[in-house]
């Protein structure tokens, strides 16, 4: 089984970037289910994975972000959850080289639990279970419960994952930077999130989406002061902007985005990737910077820790 704690002791694990952005570039029609392409156009999904691996990713995430039953129900595909997730895992597994890893992406349902919404924990478990089972059967190395905004939903997904398989499970939530600090849309603080992850003894935790790479540095720094577990950071490529032609672009290019990677590493991130708006070009630049700076940053931390222990 993948030992992320050991793997990230003396190196940074580089994930991939956005999947949805790349699928739209490949022709995914607006309003079409991205996970359906795991069966309809597996070669297009595989091409995205290959591009990220060629750019330097050492772990790729499956095309299964919206693969829970509740999300798939909006396309009439809820009964296909297991199969679509299994296929997502098989595509990534089939082309992942030795020394690289496949993570099963598990995004939020988009619904709210009672009393905010009408969703019950039982229905939530039913939504996540075939997704987890399909990803595990398809051969992923770990599960990433990501982009969560409600801690209760994240904990239900974590419980289902642990009941359904023995894979390592990572959890990330999405935070906004407000005048009062970092909070999820449900008002959860980084301190409360990390405390819950410590209690659950998750393999690794962190944040993704919403924040750009500069803003992510401050959040990871807060989390590092609260836990010794590997921290994961996947920032957006800035904020989405609208072109005159109606297309969306992000305002943080690869150079600017990647320039904050050394600071992310110094802040404590050990698993780094990209979220919305990032592409293989971003990952390539990140790989170059990680190769040039990570060893020195990690060695400096090790020396500092050693000095503290002997002083």
Q: pLDDT digit string (tens) for 250-293?
A: 889 999 999 999 999 999 999 999 999 999 999 999 999 999 87
- Do 272 and 265 form a contact (C-beta atoms < 8 A)? yes
What Å distances lie between residue 61 and 15, 64, 206, 224, 293, CA to CA?
A: 8, 8, 16, 24, 24
Entry pTM: 0.93
Specify burial of residue 92 (Cβ count, 10 A radius: 0-12, 13-18, 19+). Answer: buried
Which residues are paired to 105 by β-bridges? 144
Chain centre to alpha carbon of residue 197: 16
What is the C-alpha separation between 159 and 195, in angstroms, rounded? Answer: 17
What Å distances lie between residue 55 and 101, 272, 276, 289, CA to CA?
A: 15, 14, 17, 12
What pLDDT sits at residue 40? 98
- Do 213 and 264 form a contact (C-beta atoms < 8 A)? yes
Into how many domains does the chain fold? 1
Q: pLDDT tens string for the chain (311 positions)?
A: 788 888 898 899 999 999 999 999 999 999 999 999 999 999 999 999 999 999 999 999 999 999 999 999 999 999 999 999 999 999 999 999 999 999 999 999 999 999 999 999 999 999 999 999 999 999 999 999 999 999 999 999 999 999 999 999 999 999 999 999 999 999 999 999 999 999 999 999 999 999 999 999 999 999 999 999 999 999 999 888 877 777 777 889 999 999 999 999 999 999 999 999 999 999 999 999 999 876 666 665 655 544 444 33
Task: Give Cβ neighbours of residue 11 (< 8 Å, ≥ 6 apart).
Answer: 294, 298
What is the C-alpha separation between 119 and 165, in angstroms, rounded? Answer: 24
- Do 206 and 40 form a contact (C-beta atoms < 8 A)? no
Domain of residue 303, residue span? 4-310
What CATH number does residue 27 fall under?
Answer: 3.20.20.330
């Amino acid at each position: 089984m993948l030992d992320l704690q050991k793997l990230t002791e003396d190196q940074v694990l580089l994930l991939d970037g956005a999947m949805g952005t790349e699928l739209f570039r490949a022709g995914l029609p607006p309003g079409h289910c991205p996970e359906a392409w795991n069966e309809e156009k597996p070669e297009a999904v595989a091409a995205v994975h290959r591009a990220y691996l060629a750019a330097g990713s050492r772990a790729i995430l499956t095309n299964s972000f919206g693969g829970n039953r509740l999300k798939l129900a909006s396309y009439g595909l809820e009964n296909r959850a297991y199969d679509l997730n299994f296929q997502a895992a098989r595509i990534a597994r089939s082309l992942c080289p030795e020394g690289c890893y496949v993570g099963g992406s598990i995004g939020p349902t988009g619904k709210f639990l009672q009393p905010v919404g009408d969703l019950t924990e039982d229905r939530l478990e039913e939504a996540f279970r075939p997704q987890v089972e399909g990803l595990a059967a398809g051969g992923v190395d770990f599960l990433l419960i990501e982009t969560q905004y409600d801690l209760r939903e994240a904990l239900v997904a974590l419980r289902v994952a642990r009941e359904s398989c023995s894979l390592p499970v990572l959890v990330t939530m999405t935070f906004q930077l407000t005048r009062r600090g970092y909070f999820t849309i449900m008002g959860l603080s980084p301190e409360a999130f990390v405390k819950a992850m410590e209690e659950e003894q998750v393999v690794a935790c962190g944040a993704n989406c919403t924040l750009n790479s500069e803003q992510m540095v401050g959040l990871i720094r807060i989390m590092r002061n609260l836990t010794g577990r590997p921290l994961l950071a996947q920032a957006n490529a800035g904020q989405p902007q609208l072109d005159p032609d109606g297309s969306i672009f992000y305002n943080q290019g690869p150079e600017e985005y990647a320039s904050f990677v050394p600071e992310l590493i110094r802040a404590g991130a050990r698993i780094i990737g990209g979220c919305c708006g990032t592409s293989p070009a971003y990952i390539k630049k990140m790989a170059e910077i990680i190769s040039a700076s990570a060893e020195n940053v990690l060695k400096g931390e090790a020396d500092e820790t050693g000095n503290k222990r002997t002083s």
